Copies of this chain bind each other. A is one copy, B any other.
Amino acid sequence: MRRKNERLSLDGHSARPPAIAVTSDRAERALSQRGLQFTPLRRQILDMLIEAGRPLGAYDLLARQRERAGKPFAPTQIYRVLDVLQAAGLIHRLATQGTYVVCDHEHAAGETPVFLVCGACGSVAEAASTAVEQEVEAVAAASGFKPIHPVVEVEGRCAACRAGP
């Protein structure tokens, strides 16, 4: 049962900018749709994640923000910003690592994000798959379970690390 409506928007290696650039406009819209604002602090945290081009931990962001602002910051503040950005669909949390990464995609309903995490170089690529979503749904349906938030993270080896040292 091969589904042909698969969308595989894979955006290569994390060193490169995302295919769908996360712009101020996108963030602005995503937040204001929810009655929230794209404040300077939120912009700064999001910018850090964009610039890093890879997942960062909350305390990593905390340290960078302290440098950047020259002021003390508390973990709480970072986590609050991360919660908001995540709720707005601008970033994802990687459960296997406890890190946060910019979202590459405009997610349509019926698509599950799939994260390809290279165990060698640490790069993470985000894809979105309707087929994975459907198969997960099938597994859940078999036990009467209703999926709300599927998490799919795959540890493995990226193309670059398979090719050379």
Interface positions of A (Cβ within 8 A of B): 1, 6, 8-13, 95-96, 114, 116, 118-119, 125, 127, 129, 131-132, 134-136, 138-140, 142-159, 162
Contacts and interface: CB of A to CB of B under 8 A. Distances in A.
A95 to B, nearest CB: 4
Contacts of A13: 138
A14 to B, nearest CB: 12
5 closest pairs, A vs B, by CB? A144-B159, A8-B143, A10-B142, A10-B143, A95-B95
A157 B146 contact: yes
Work out how many copies of this chain go into the complex.
Answer: 2
Given A127-B139, A136-B114, A162-B146, A153 B151 contact: yes
Nearest to A138: B12
Contacts of A135: 12, 129, 131-132, 134-135
